[in-house]
Amino acid sequence: MPLHDMHYQHWEGVHVGIWARRWVIAKNGLAACLQNKVLRNVVVLCWGAGLGMVAALFIVSQLLVPDSMVVKWVEHLNPALQTFAQFLTSWLHDHPEISVRATQNVFFFYCCTLLTPAGIFALGVAMPLLITRDLAGGAIVIYSSKAVTRGDYLLGKFCTAFGLLGLTCLGPLCAAWFVGNLLAPDWRFFWHARAALGNILIYGLSSMCILSALALGVSAISSKEKTTPFLWFMWWVLGGFIQPIAANTKPWLRHLSFGYNLDQIRLATFRLGNDVKAAQDNIPILGNMLNGIPRKTMQTLNNPTLWGAVAALLLMLAGAAWVIRRRVRPE
Amino acid sequence: MSPQTVIETEALSKVYGQQRALDGVTLHVSRGAIGLLGPNGAGKTTLMKCLLQLQPITTGSARLLGREVGREGREIRKRVGYGPEENCHIPGMAGCEYVTYCAQLSGLPFQAARQRAHEMLDFVGMGQERYRKIETYSTGLKQRAKLAQAIVHDPEIVFLDEPTNGLDPKGQAQILELVQSLWKTYGITVVLSSHLLQDVERVCEQIIIIARGRVLVHDTLENLKARKRGAAEVVVAGRHHELQEACQRRQWPCELLSNGHLKVEHNADSLNPLLNVLRELKLAPLEIIPSPNALEEAFVQALEISHAAA
């Protein structure tokens, strides 16, 4: 007599494809991340910042509507700000193809600067959920014994990190761009602001790929849940400290910071120097203000150390790949 | 490779640094309940891992379910289940989520995966514990969860590495009963790795005994049990010399052991010739211990090889 009721039925359904299985890994990882309260709060904050961006874009675009509340509010400002707002209004009105592009490019550059650290922070919190816990629980053996390869597993985990960055950085930025321009008084804003969207996507996607791969590498360093977030945050914070110190002594040391390297990529992508020049040429009052920008800052805006940053990031990615190759295997 | 052959290896070797974990293993294994028997460190787990491509093969070749190992990993593993010896789980998941996830990783759509996960957890006898986090499970529950995840996608062959480790006798009996039913009732080929002879004897029809990375024996349990060396140990109160001389006259090698037993190789299938000699001598034996069967002998040999190496 059996010790308990046994019932086994063979399954005769159709298997799903490999991309569906990879998606399962990514989705499961992302769901685990969103079960974490801190990460949920970070995501909410980022989308809150996205709402703030929409509001700011709405206010700028309302300068073109003669009877709008924004225009009336501008009339109550002090004379200097009023003059600036009027110049901006006339610039927006007369040269929307340049003004919308330049305004939104500068605006989204700073939004990227704001949201990238949020993404890096989120990755640090999510670090144990990427590979660390799987190493601790021996889950790599389970994954490897199923119909997925190590590559599929890593791709799934990469998509988890990528998805998390999408929720904290790229998602709010793209949504803000879309809704901000949707609320603009003229449909042509979408067309004029296309360069800003392109820059958001180029910088956003490249930085997300880089950060996701680096995060996987750090997450695979140890199977201890406290070690990997510590390493990630230490790298980030120390990099931030090194930057100003190394700037005057050994500038190449700044490339040890992935944050600095991403800054250079952002500068190279958004090319703010062109926008500053456009503003100087078209709004005299703004031109006078921008003339006060130190020459060194302008040099940084115009000539970021892109290739140094790319080379440093490639080396970091190679290091991450080496760690993953050594650590993520079913032994 | 015949359709009945599930595992085929040719001179399969696996080397870790200086250590040779598998040494030229050649096997042709047909469907059934297969016992992989050997002492700890014999190479059982390594053989399983090589077949599942969890470890790269150093030299030689292997085919599993007719497919080349090392080339068609995903396709092979879609049809294969594996319950590892060590505690492997995905932290943070409840038992039913874990088994559902494993089914999805094997290619089942979500609805089917969830349904089968619950069916398999019922099958392995897990109750409401399935809703608890897997890290909180006892050893017995973990073994059940491992078995459930190994069969949730309805594999053709399932590899179970020491599935009764850490279980009490009742738990062992339940798991072995389940494993036995997989082949006998449901036709799923089972490869059961164990260092316990009685576990393998109870469940398996084919036996592979491994020691120091080499296959010592591969045969059916029936053949191994039937095959006996015509030998016995005779315990007599005295007159050892008379019995020794009588045996030597019949050209039966015999030896007086240190425990006072006389080991006689009578080379017959039954003990009758030996009993006839004792009758002729009017010698009443205190005990006659027939020689162990080939399975026991091979297992003892494997243990001795392993101890000698250690």
Q: Which residue has the tokens 């590498």?
A: A217
Inform me whether the pLDDT recorded for A2 exceeds 50: no
> Are B114 and B155 in contact, with CB atoms under 8 Å apart?
no
Provide the b/e sequence for A137-152 (b: ≥16 CB within 10 Å).
bbbbbbbbbbbbbbeb
What ipTM, to 2 d.p.?
Answer: 0.84
- Pick the closest to residue A312 from A251, A267, A244 (CA basis): A251
CATH number of B231-291: 3.30.70
In a domain, A179, yes or no: yes
pLDDT, tens digit (0-9, with 9 covering 90-100), for A21-51: 999 999 999 999 999 999 999 999 999 999 9
Comparing A284 with A114, the larger pLDDT belongs to A114
What are the chain A neighbours of B123 within 8 Å (beta carbons)? 6-8
CATH superfamily, domain at B5-226 = P-loop containing nucleotide triphosphate hydrolases (3.40.50.300)
pLDDT-based confidence at A284, cuts 50/70/90? low
Q: What is the domain range of residue A160? A: 18-327
> 3-state class of A40 per DSSP?
helix
Helix (H, G, I), strand (E, B) or coil at A20: helix
Strand order in the sheet with B33-37: B80-83, B157-161, B189-194, B33-37, B206-211, B214-220
Q: What does DSSP assign to residue B91?
A: T
**Distance (Å) from the alpha carbon of B63 to chain A's nearest alpha carbon:** 16
Contacts of B52 in chain A (CB under 8 A): 144-145
Model pLDDT for residues A51-94, shown as the tens digit of each residue: 999 999 998 888 777 677 777 777 777 777 777 777 777 777 77
Instruction: State which residue of chain B sits closest to A329, comparing Cα positions.
Output: B54
Count structural domains, chain A.
Answer: 1
| Residues of chain B under the 70 pLDDT cut | 1-3, 228, 292-294, 302, 306-310
* Closest CB to B154 among A11, A138, A139: A11
Cβ–Cβ contact B168 with A under 8 A:
no
The answer to whether the CB atoms of A6 and B123 lie below 8 A apart is yes
Span A278-285, average pLDDT: 69
Chain B CB contacts of A10 under 8 Å are 154, 186
Interface contact A31, partner B, CB < 8 A: no
A10 part of a folded domain: no
Using the beta-carbon criterion (under 8 Å), do A141 and B88 form an inter-chain contact?
A: yes
Residue in B49, B77, B186 nearest the CB of A146:
B77
How far is C-alpha B159 from the geometric centre of its chain's CA atoms? 11
pLDDT digit string, tens, across residues A189-223? 898 889 999 999 999 999 999 999 999 999 999 99
The answer to whether B90 contacts chain A (CB < 8 Å) is yes
Q: Evaluate whether B5-226 and B231-291 have a shared fold.
A: no
SS3 B161: strand
Give domain status of residue A9, yes or no: no
